[in-house]
Chains A and B, each alone.
Chain A
Amino acid sequence: MIPIEYWLIFSSLLFVIGAYGVVSRKNAIVVLMCIEIMLNAANINLVMFSSYHSVLHTVPDATGQVFALFSIAIAAAEVAVGLAIILSVYRRYQTIDVDKINILRW
Chain B
Amino acid sequence: MLEYAWLIPVFPFVAFLLIALLPKRTLWWESGAVYAIAGTLCSLVLSMLVVWSVLNGETLTTDTPKFKWLEVGDFSLEFGVWIDQLTALMLVVVSIVGTLVVVYSGGYMREEGEGRRRYYAEITLFISVMFGLVISDNYLQMFIFWELVGLCSYLLIGFWYEKPSAASAAKRAFIVTRVGDIMFMAGIIILFKYVGSLDFETLFSESAAVAVPTDMMILATALIFGGAIGKSAQFPLHEWLPDAMEGPTTVSALIHAATMVKAGVYLVARSYPLLIHAPESLLFVAVIGGVTAILAATVALAANDIKRVLAYSTISQLGYMILGLGAGGYLVIYANSPGGYAAATFHLMNHAFFKALLFLCAGSVIHAIGTNDMRLMGGLGKKMKITSLTMLIGALAISGIPPFSGFWSKDEVLAAVWHAGEFDSVFFLLWLMGIVTAFMTAFYMFRMWFMTFAGEPRSEYHAHESPRIMTVPLMILAGLAMTSGFVLFIGDGFKGFMESSIEGLLHGAEHESLVDIAAEIFTDPLTYVSLTLAVVGIMLARKIYLTPGFDRSMFSRGFNGKLQRALENRWYISKFYDDFAVKVVYGLSLIADKFDRYVIDGLVNGFAFLGGNTGNFIRRLQDGNVQRYASLILVGICLLLILVLYILPWGG
Chain A positions within 8 Å of B, measured between CB atoms, are 19, 22-24, 31, 98-99, 101-106
Q: Which residues of A lie under 8 Å from residue B459 when comparing CB positions?
A: none
A82 CB, min distance to chain B CBs, angstroms: 12
A98 touches B626 (CB 8 A): yes
A92 CB, min distance to chain B CBs, angstroms: 15
Q: Which residues of A lie under 8 Å from residue B623 when comparing CB positions?
A: 102, 105-106
Alpha-carbon gap, A19 to B630, bound state (A): 9
Other than A31-B627, A104-B624, A106-B619, give 18 A-B pairs with Cβ distance below 8 A: A19-B634, A22-B627, A23-B627, A23-B630, A23-B634, A24-B627, A98-B625, A98-B626, A98-B627, A99-B625, A101-B624, A101-B626, A102-B624, A102-B625, A103-B624, A105-B622, A106-B620, A106-B622
State the interface size on chain B (CB cutoff 8 A).
11
Q: Which residues of B lie under 8 Å from residue A106 when comparing CB positions?
A: 619-620, 622-624
A104 CB, min distance to chain B CBs, angstroms: 5
Q: Does B631 contact A (CB under 8 A)?
A: yes
Alpha-carbon gap, A23 to B634, bound state (A): 9
**19 A-B interface contacts by CB (under 8 A):** A19-B634, A22-B630, A23-B630, A23-B631, A23-B634, A31-B627, A98-B625, A99-B627, A101-B626, A102-B623, A102-B625, A102-B626, A103-B624, A105-B624, A105-B625, A106-B619, A106-B620, A106-B622, A106-B624
Across the interface, name the chain A residue whose C-beta is closest to B625.
Answer: A102
Which of A19, A23, A105 is the most central at the interface, judged by chain B CB atoms within 10 Å of its CB? A23
A40 CB, min distance to chain B CBs, angstroms: 18
In chain B, residues 93-124, which have Cβ atoms closer than 8 Å to a Cβ of chain A? none
Q: Which residues of B lie under 8 Å from residue A99 when comparing CB positions?
A: 625, 627
Main secondary structure of the interface of A (DSSP, over half): loop
A100 CB, min distance to chain B CBs, angstroms: 10
Across the interface, name the chain A residue whose C-beta is closest to B619.
Answer: A106
B650 CB, min distance to chain A CBs, angstroms: 24
Q: Which residues of B lie under 8 Å from residue A31 when comparing CB positions?
A: 627
Alpha-carbon gap, A106 to B626, bound state (A): 13
Per-position binary interface string of chain B over residues 614-652, scored 1 when its CB falls under 8 Å from any chain A CB and 0 otherwise: 000001101111110011001000000000000000000
A97 CB, min distance to chain B CBs, angstroms: 11
B453 CB, min distance to chain A CBs, angstroms: 87
Alpha-carbon gap, A101 to B626, bound state (A): 9
Which 4 residue pairs of A and B lie closest in terms of their CB atoms, listed nearest first? Answer: A102-B624, A105-B624, A23-B631, A105-B623
Q: Which residues of A lie under 8 Å from residue B627 when comparing CB positions?
A: 22-24, 31, 98-99
Across the interface, name the chain B residue whose C-beta is closest to A28.
Answer: B626
In chain B, residues 590-630, which have Cβ atoms closer than 8 Å to a Cβ of chain A? 619-620, 622-627, 630
Alpha-carbon gap, A99 to B630, bound state (A): 13
Alpha-carbon gap, A23 to B635, bound state (A): 11
Alpha-carbon gap, A21 to B585, bound state (A): 74
Q: Which residues of B lie under 8 Å from residue A103 when comparing CB positions?
A: 624
Q: Which residues of A lie under 8 Å from residue B625 when comparing CB positions?
A: 98-99, 102, 105
Alpha-carbon gap, A17 to B634, bound state (A): 13
Across the interface, name the chain A residue whose C-beta is closest to B631.
Answer: A23
Alpha-carbon gap, A22 to B627, bound state (A): 7
Alpha-carbon gap, A102 to B620, bound state (A): 13
Q: Which residues of A lie under 8 Å from residue B619 when comparing CB positions?
A: 106
Q: Which residues of A lie under 8 Å from residue B630 when comparing CB positions?
A: 22-23
Q: Which residues of B lie under 8 Å from residue A24 when comparing CB positions?
A: 627
A45 CB, min distance to chain B CBs, angstroms: 16
Across the interface, name the chain B residue whose C-beta is closest to A23.
Answer: B631
Q: Which residues of A lie under 8 Å from residue B634 when comparing CB positions?
A: 19, 23
B619 CB, min distance to chain A CBs, angstroms: 5
Alpha-carbon gap, A105 to B618, bound state (A): 12
Alpha-carbon gap, A3 to B511, bound state (A): 116
Q: Which residues of A lie under 8 Å from residue B620 when comparing CB positions?
A: 106
Q: Which residues of B lie under 8 Å from residue A105 when comparing CB positions?
A: 622-625
Alpha-carbon gap, A31 to B631, bound state (A): 13
Alpha-carbon gap, A98 to B631, bound state (A): 14
A17 CB, min distance to chain B CBs, angstroms: 13
Alpha-carbon gap, A31 to B627, bound state (A): 9
Q: Which residues of B lie under 8 Å from residue A22 when comparing CB positions?
A: 627, 630
Q: Which residues of A lie under 8 Å from residue B626 when comparing CB positions?
A: 98, 101-102
Q: Which residues of B lie under 8 Å from residue A101 when comparing CB positions?
A: 624, 626
Across the interface, name the chain A residue whose C-beta is closest to B622.
Answer: A105
Q: Which residues of B lie under 8 Å from residue A102 when comparing CB positions?
A: 623-626
Alpha-carbon gap, A19 to B625, bound state (A): 16
Alpha-carbon gap, A104 to B620, bound state (A): 12
B634 CB, min distance to chain A CBs, angstroms: 6
B316 CB, min distance to chain A CBs, angstroms: 77
A94 CB, min distance to chain B CBs, angstroms: 18
B625 CB, min distance to chain A CBs, angstroms: 5
In chain B, residues 463-477, which have Cβ atoms closer than 8 Å to a Cβ of chain A? none
Q: Which residues of A lie under 8 Å from residue B622 when comparing CB positions?
A: 105-106
A73 CB, min distance to chain B CBs, angstroms: 24
Per-position binary interface string of chain B over residues 168-207, scored 1 when its CB falls under 8 Å from any chain A CB and 0 otherwise: 0000000000000000000000000000000000000000
Alpha-carbon gap, A23 to B637, bound state (A): 14
A89 CB, min distance to chain B CBs, angstroms: 12
A26 CB, min distance to chain B CBs, angstroms: 9
B633 CB, min distance to chain A CBs, angstroms: 10
Q: Which residues of A lie under 8 Å from residue B624 when comparing CB positions?
A: 101-106
B630 CB, min distance to chain A CBs, angstroms: 5
A12 CB, min distance to chain B CBs, angstroms: 13
Alpha-carbon gap, A21 to B630, bound state (A): 11
Q: Which residues of A lie under 8 Å from residue B631 when comparing CB positions?
A: 23
Alpha-carbon gap, A102 to B625, bound state (A): 5
A47 CB, min distance to chain B CBs, angstroms: 23
Alpha-carbon gap, A106 to B625, bound state (A): 11
Across the interface, name the chain A residue whose C-beta is closest to B620.
Answer: A106
In chain B, residues 259-315, which have Cβ atoms closer than 8 Å to a Cβ of chain A? none
Q: Which residues of B lie under 8 Å from residue A23 when comparing CB positions?
A: 627, 630-631, 634
Q: Which residues of B lie under 8 Å from residue A19 when comparing CB positions?
A: 634
Alpha-carbon gap, A103 to B622, bound state (A): 11
Alpha-carbon gap, A101 to B624, bound state (A): 8
Across the interface, name the chain A residue whose C-beta is closest to B634.
Answer: A19
Across the interface, name the chain A residue whose C-beta is closest to B628.
Answer: A23
Q: Which residues of B lie under 8 Å from residue A98 when comparing CB positions?
A: 625-627
A103 CB, min distance to chain B CBs, angstroms: 6
A84 CB, min distance to chain B CBs, angstroms: 17
Across the interface, name the chain B residue whose C-beta is closest to A16.
Answer: B634
Alpha-carbon gap, A101 to B629, bound state (A): 13
Across the interface, name the chain B residue whose C-beta is closest to A102.
Answer: B624
Alpha-carbon gap, A96 to B16, bound state (A): 78
A56 CB, min distance to chain B CBs, angstroms: 24
Across the interface, name the chain B residue whose C-beta is closest to A25.
Answer: B627
B416 CB, min distance to chain A CBs, angstroms: 86
Alpha-carbon gap, A99 to B629, bound state (A): 12
Alpha-carbon gap, A80 to B419, bound state (A): 109
Across the interface, name the chain B residue whose C-beta is closest to A103.
Answer: B624
B637 CB, min distance to chain A CBs, angstroms: 10
